[in-house]
């Protein structure tokens, strides 16, 4: 008897769950309604009405955006964004995104800007850009003791890049280094640099094309196992990327960046993250 009760109770739970199913579908309806209020974070509304500032960033991109030892998202770019928010009285919302989906996230309005070591060069017409704030270059990292000493040694080698990264663009754009890229045995794309560096260490790729700031951080963290080639692939600049046409917000951020440069905040942060020689504001 007891067991029969148990079986009936189980069926009952299923039926009850049915009711929750209905209940929930209506609550999901209301949550899509409440998203109207956050529609305010779209490019269309006026900057004066803003209360929050949502920054999209790749949380696997130290030192510009990453998880610190306490589990909070931090990095040079995020602290700079925080400083901007302090000036404006906005609340900073740090929204980690999947780098492959950054355009969809930005266009759909779930983030206000992409601020994360975001290379301007080659993407000039795809976003509305802030002033460049950081000089960057794409460099090549090889394991210590590798026979690759200069860029031309990369011929016939397997080279890794991050998917949708500036390094990838440089090596596939015929106005830049496509000629060099074509000599590689393979251009292997990775989602994140942790995997890429492990593969480099394990010998399944020969070299890694990477932003210089990220390369310095990784080499510092990982010790002596890696070296940076002296020749850079190119030189380029970082900016904050806004949805195309969102010039109002862009102008506001530009103004704030200038102020933060003048009062020394930018240089202080740059020193903290060891990228002082890269700042170009």
Partner 1 sequence: MSLSTMLVQMGDGMLKSISIFIWTLVLSLPLGLIVSFGRMSKNRILRGIVTFYISVMRGTPLMLQLLVVYFGPYYLFQANIGAYRYTAIIFGFVVNYAAYFAEIFRSGIQSMPKGQYEAADVLGYSRSQAFMKIILPQVMKRILPPVTNETITLVKDTSLAYALAYSEMFSIAKQIAAAQTTFTPLIVAAVFYYIFNYVVAGIMSYIEKKLSYYR
**Residue 87 DSSP SS3:** helix
Q: CA-CA distance, 167 to 177, in Å (whole number)?
A: 10
Q: How far apart are the first and last CA of the chain?
A: 79
Q: Is 255 exposed, middle or buried (0-12, 13-18, 19+ CB in 10 A)?
A: middle
Tell whether residue 5 is a contact of partner 1 (CB under 8 A).
Answer: no
Tell whether residue 48 is a contact of partner 1 (CB under 8 A).
Answer: no
Q: CA-CA distance, 134 to 236, in Å (whole number)?
A: 9
CB nearer to partner 1: pick between 133 and 226: 226
Quote the least distance from Cβ 103 to partner 1, whole Å.
10
Quote the least distance from Cβ 197 to partner 1, whole Å.
7
DSSP 206: S
Q: Applying CB under 8 A, which part among 53-61, 176-184, 252-260, 261-269 lies near partner 1?
A: 53-61
Quote the least distance from Cβ 257 to partner 1, whole Å.
24
Retrieve residue 15's tokens.
């039926």
Tell whether residue 163 is a contact of partner 1 (CB under 8 A).
Answer: no
Helix H or strand E encompassing 228: strand 226-228
For residue 93, give the nearest of 104, 82, 101 by alpha carbon: 82
Tell whether residue 28 is a contact of partner 1 (CB under 8 A).
Answer: yes
Among 51, 91, 104, 149, binds partner 1 (CB under 8 A): 104
Among 198, 204, 235, 271, binds partner 1 (CB under 8 A): 198
Which residues, 224 to 243, sit near partner 1 by CB under 8 A? none
Q: CA-CA distance, 61 to 74, in Å (whole number)?
A: 10
Among 82, 87, 95, 232, binds partner 1 (CB under 8 A): 95
For residue 112, give the nearest of 164, 28, 68, 51 by alpha carbon: 51
CB 162 within 8 A of CB 189: yes
CB nearer to partner 1: pick between 6 and 147: 6
Quote the least distance from Cβ 1 to partner 1, whole Å.
10
Contact residues: partner 1, CB under 8 A: 3-4, 6-8, 10-11, 14-15, 17-18, 20-21, 24, 28, 31-32, 34-36, 38-39, 41-42, 54, 59-62, 66-71, 95-98, 101, 104-105, 107-111, 192-194, 197-198, 218, 221-222
């Amino acid at each position: 008897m007891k067991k029969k009760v148990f079986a009936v109770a189980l069926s009952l739970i299923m039926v009850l769950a049915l009711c929750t199913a209905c209940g929930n579908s209506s609550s999901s309806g209301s949550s899509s309604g409440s998203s109207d209020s956050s529609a305010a974070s779209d490019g269309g509304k006026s900057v004066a009405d803003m209360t929050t500032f949502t920054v999209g960033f790749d949380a696997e991109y130290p030192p510009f955006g990453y998880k610190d030892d306490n589990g909070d998202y931090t990095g040079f770019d995020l602290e700079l964004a925080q400083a901007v928010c302090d000036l404006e009285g906005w609340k900073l919302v740090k929204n980690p995104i999947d780098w492959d989906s950054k355009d969809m996230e930005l266009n759909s309005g779930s983030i206000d800007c992409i601020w994360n070591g975001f290379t301007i060069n080659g993407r000039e017409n795809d976003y509305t850009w802030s002033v460049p704030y950081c000089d960057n270059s794409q460099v090549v990292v090889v394991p210590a003791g590798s026979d690759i000493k200069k860029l031309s040694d990369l011929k016939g080698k397997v080279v890794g890049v991050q998917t949708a990264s500036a390094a990838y663009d440089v090596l596939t754009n015929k106005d830049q280094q496509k000629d060099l890229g074509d000599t590689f045995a393979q251009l292997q794309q990775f989602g994140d640099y942790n995997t890429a560096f492990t593969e480099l260490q394990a010998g399944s790729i020969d070299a890694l094309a990477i932003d210089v700031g990220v390369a310095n951080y990784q080499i510092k963290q990982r010790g002596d196992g890696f070296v940076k080639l002296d020749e850079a692939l190119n030189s380029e600049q970082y900016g904050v990327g806004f949805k195309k046409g969102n010039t109002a917000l862009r102008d506001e951020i530009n103004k704030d960046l200038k102020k933060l440069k003048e009062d020394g905040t930018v240089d202080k942060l740059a020193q903290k993250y060891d990228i002082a020689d890269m700042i170009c504001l």
